[in-house]
Amino acid sequence: MKRDWRGLLTWDWPLAGLLVLALLLDGAAAGEVGHQDQRWELPGFLAVCALALLASRWPVVAGVGVAAVLLVWSVVLRLADVTVPSAAGGLGAAEVTAVLAVIVALVRRSSRNTATGLVGLLLLSCPVVGVLRPEHPGAPQDLGWSVILPVMAILAGWYLRVRDARTARELRAVLVAAQLRERVALARELHDVVAHHIGGMVVQAQAAQAVAVPDPGAPARVLPVIERAGTDALSAMQRMVAMLHDVGGEPASPTTDLLADLRAATATSEGATPVRLAVELAEPVPAAVATTVLRLVQESVTNARRYAVGAREITATVRAADGSVRVQVRDDGRHTDRPRRSGGGGYGLVGMRERVQLLGGRLEAGRVPGAGWQVLADMPLRAE
């Protein structure tokens, strides 16, 4: 699995700065001991600092790694009879900072049992390190700081854990609300489609009754029309299963001309990023599907104009053929990895995916190497 190293460093830059400061403090303290000690302390200090930076992504690996490095390097220092400066409990400032950072990450991101075990391992390794390493200048308050600092780290990790859980609940609520809004809007649109088909069936049936006596062949001509309308109505009704009806904002009603609607949705106003529209409709697009196609293009173009930094052009392609319709919207700008919020306070991408899935299709959205951002959706023209 590919890791986003740039995102990792961006996320942890405050910790990286703190670790660099601690290393500088250790270097200044080691300068009083001698150059040889500086060379001996550096590998172990750098190793625990690197593991601390990885703790936000891999807290378990970082916890085991820091404990192992502390113990192994302490044995090496004992064998070499080298003394390193101590900030607390025989550990250097960089080591203390790294241990505290890993404790915070473990409590915040690991399961309770895992966090308890690894935090205990780290806390037990610290006094062992003090025993293994050669004598170092200590202070009476070392024991106090060895207790206070880990307790503060545990409390900080627990606070972040509770905050993350609350944020996750709020995010889930927002996503559910966005899905519900899209379900409601689509249900209303499908209701209009079904009403249209049923109305046509009623008119055809009335006409057949009116002309049945003078024209015996009229029912044979009208009944297939009624059958097709009924089939279309049933297909549309199947898409309304599990949808909830609620009060909400009315979406803009599309016309019966999908091409005209798409041209209006991609029209370029002054100062906006231009849109190149390509539409190929080898097959007719049912009204329920056409509405979703229009919404996808509108939402994708709006997001691209808002968030595609430096985009020179947006390409929107709609092709209907072989029983399905494909919608593709791409831009050539720069995007971040943050989820994009659309108008109305909901998550636009969530709503688009909900619409497509309710129609039996699939949607993919993400970066395209060298081409900015892409939204790609495939939907069947008829219900399965």
* Number of domains, the chain: 3
Residue 251 maps to a domain: no
Q: Determine the pLDDT at residue 353.
A: 83
Out of 106, 139, 172, pick the residue that ends a domain: 139
Same domain, 206 and 304: no
| Residue where a domain stops, chosen among 80, 115, 139 | 139
The answer to whether residues 96 and 217 belong to one domain is no
Give the pLDDT score at 327.
Answer: 94
Residue at 150 is within a domain: no
Q: Are residues 263 and 330 in the same domain?
A: yes
Examine residue 303 and state whether it is found in any structural domain, yes or no: yes
Same-domain status, 218 and 275: no
Regarding whether 357 and 275 lie in a shared domain, the answer is: yes
Secondary structure class of 371 (helix, strand, coil): coil
- 373 touches 333 (CB < 8 A): yes
Asked whether the beta carbons of 61 and 132 are under 8 A apart, the reply is no
**Per-residue confidence in pLDDT tens, the chain, 384 aa:** 344 444 444 457 788 888 888 878 777 766 665 545 556 667 888 888 889 888 888 999 999 999 999 888 888 888 877 777 676 667 778 888 899 999 999 999 888 899 999 999 988 888 888 778 766 544 444 556 677 888 899 999 999 889 988 888 887 777 777 767 766 666 666 666 666 666 666 666 666 665 555 666 656 666 666 666 666 665 555 555 444 443 334 444 555 688 888 988 888 777 788 899 999 998 888 877 888 898 889 888 888 888 887 888 899 999 999 889 999 999 888 865 444 444 433 356 777 887 788 788 999 988 887 768 899 999 998 765
Same domain, yes or no: 216 and 276:
no
Are 208 and 222 in contact, with CB atoms under 8 Å apart? yes
9 with 116, same domain? yes
Query: What pLDDT score was predicted for residue 203?
Result: 65
Choosing from 77, 110, 139, the residue where a domain stops is 139
Helix (H) or strand (E) holding 139, with range, is: none
The reply to whether 227 and 115 lie within a common domain is no
pTM score over 0.95: no
Q: Does 300 lie in the same domain as 226?
A: no
In whole angstroms, give the CA distance from residue 38 to residue 376. Answer: 56
Assess if residue 208 is contained within a domain: yes
Asked if the structure places residue 144 within a domain, the reply is no
C-beta of residue 89 within 8 angstroms of C-beta of residue 140: no
- Cα 64 to chain centroid, rounded: 29
Give CA–CA dist 68/315, Å, rounded: 54
97, 51: one domain? yes
The verdict on 271 and 231 lying in the same domain is: no
Using alpha carbons, list the distances in angstroms from residue 90 to 72, 83, 124.
Answer: 14, 10, 13
Beta bridge partners of 81: none
- Sign, CA dihedral 81-85-86-91, equals negative
250 inside domain: no
Q: Is residue 158 part of a domain?
A: no
Burial (Cβ within 10 Å: 0-12, 13-18, ≥19) of residue 117: middle
Q: What is the CATH number of the domain that holds 365?
A: 3.30.565.10
Nearest to 7, CA basis, from 46, 70, 56: 56
Tell which residue, 52, 54, 128, has the closest CA to residue 91.
128
What is the model's pLDDT at position 140? Answer: 41
pLDDT at 126: 83
* Lookup result for tokens 């001991």: 33
Question: Which range of residues forms the domain containing residue 361?
Answer: 258-380
Tell whether 288 and 336 lie within a shared domain.
Answer: yes
Residue 33 lies in a domain: yes
